[in-house]
Amino acid sequence: MGRTLRRGRLGAFAVSAAAAVVCVYLLVPSVAVLPLSVTATNFVVFPPHGFSTGWYQALFTSQVWRNALISSFSVASLTTLVATPVGTMMALGLANFHGWLARASNFIVLLPIIVPTIVTAVALYSALAPLGLVGTIPGLALAHTVLALPFVVINVSAVLAKLDPRMVQAARSLGARPLAAFRLVTLPNLLPGVAAGALFAFLTSFDDFVVALFLAGVGAVTLPVQMWSGIRFEISPVVAAASTVLLATSCLLLALQRLVRGR
């Protein structure tokens, strides 16, 4: 008995140690970019030699990188502005679908997540190229709206499912017209879901690389696309600085999202 107990404890320790090692493995590439970006050398090296903020200066003064930052923010903002209201309305409508119609529509709404991004990218490229939308900010934002829409619907639907239908019924029975009941009861309760959906939409667009690779052309080069050419043609610490900015933005938005959900 004593021996099995000891062996059991040893097993538990082994599991914990393995889990810790894997957690470090998960973290390493995210954490490593920060030191990479402050090296004083003009090549990337880990651990960095010296300390310099010069690569951030280079990032923010270079026309190419500045344009990429502006494109990323423009496309992501435009995507959020379109996907959030459209997705919210969709979630509200889908909540009233039942049976096979609900199952079929839910599957179709989830499809952009299921289908490999490269396939979506190729399809969008051949659809938008004849319309002259490749290489434009609105074109890329339209494409990102497709990727972002499911996340808005999922977030709003999750909040909607938790909403007590008796609250709306109570408002109605107290004499509120359907629209008033929606505006005064449903909408305020829905706001955290809508906000979370909007942040997800922004992040989905901001983070996308594969669709942008096909649709960016020369007129809508986003930060990830610029990083891609940076990585492929000259591994400069500027790429690490750009990575850090990208990562910091994502972290900020996710923290914001937690704050919204926590309330």
164 to 203, contacts with another protein by CB under 8 A?
203
Contact 129, 217 (CB under 8 A): no
**Sign of the dihedral defined by the CA atoms of residues 178, 179, 180, 183, in that order:** positive
When asked if residue 64 is in the footprint of another protein (CB under 8 A), the reply is no
Residue in the block written with tokens 């097993």: 11
Is the peptide bond preceding residue 116 cis, with omega within 30 degrees of 0?
no
Q: In the complex with another protein, which residue's Cβ is closer, 195 or 245?
A: 245
**Closest distance to another protein from the beta carbon of 192 (Å):** 19
**Closest distance to another protein from the beta carbon of 4 (Å):** 5
Give φ, ψ of 47 to 5 degrees.
-70, 155
For another protein (CB under 8 A), the number of binding residues is: 81
Among 2, 13, 38, 46, binds another protein (CB under 8 A): 46
HSE on the CB side for 236, CA within 13 Å?
16
Please write down the HEC assignment for all residues of 186-232. Answer: HHHHHHHHHHHHHHHHHHHHHHCCHHHHHHCCCCCCCHHHHHHHHHH
Which residues 196-255 are close enough to bind another protein by CB under 8 A? Answer: 203, 207, 209-210, 213-214, 224, 227-228, 231-232, 235, 239-240, 243, 246-247, 250-251, 254
When asked if residue 45 is in the footprint of another protein (CB under 8 A), the reply is yes
Q: In the complex with another protein, which residue's Cβ is closer, 119 or 184?
A: 119
Which residues 88-117 are close enough to bind another protein by CB under 8 A? Answer: 89-90, 92-97, 105, 108-117
When asked if residue 40 is in the footprint of another protein (CB under 8 A), the reply is no
